[in-house]
Amino acid sequence: MPDPSTLIPFVIASAILVLIPGPAVLYIVSTGIGRGRRMALASMLGIETGALFHVAAAAVGLSAVVASSVVAYSVVKYAGAAYLIYLGIKTLRDRGESNPLRIPGATSARGAFKRGVIVNILNPKLALFFLAFLPQFVVPARGSVPSPSVSGQLVFLGLLFISVAIVIDGVYAMTSGMIGNLLNRSERFARVQNRLAGATYIALGATAAVTGSNSK
């Protein structure tokens, strides 16, 4: 466990960072508006589960490999960008009659959860974020790399960050879900939102593809 004196600053910093909307938040909000509260919560849990992959990667050093290897970073980066663009195209082409807001491939909470996991695993910037952010709160004196003590601190901080994210992203999910449940009654709005959601995914994918490794 890291030095207790660093935990409060870490939680505050984590909360500020999570509050800033990014691809994960936009995915949760789009799902909430499009499919309601239950699906939004499922997508949020998927996002946080995907983040566990990056916590483990940071602890074992995989993030360092991705950060230092242009090829490794590019593979994950473009795979994630391609997946976001794929989501956007599928959403724009969706012609669901019973519910125009239906998110393609996520017709159940289980589907929304799986998609959230994929979205966050294929996010190399999250790997770089953990690599850059978590070590700032690790106390080297408690161990030296690859000391289990340092790895343990990284895992603890990563899980703490995810716990903070669950609370904040949960609020995003609940709020967007409540709005979605109300707006789902409007077929006209549903079609407009479907186009906006598709355009958002494509824009996120295109942005991820063209931004450098230093972008957040």
CA dihedral 179, 184, 185, 189 (to 10 degrees): 90
Percent of the chain with pLDDT over 90: 15
For 137-185, the pLDDT digits (tens) are 776 654 444 444 667 888 888 999 999 999 999 999 999 888 876 665 5
Q: What integer is the mean pLDDT of 30-54?
A: 89
pTM of the shown model:
0.67
For 182-197, the pLDDT digits (tens) are 665 555 655 666 676 6
Q: What are the structural domain ranges in the chain?
A: 4-210
User: What is the DSSP code string of 65-82?
Assistant: HHHH-HHHHHHHHHHHHH
For 114-145, the pLDDT digits (tens) are 988 988 888 776 777 787 777 777 766 544 44
First to last CA, the chain: 27
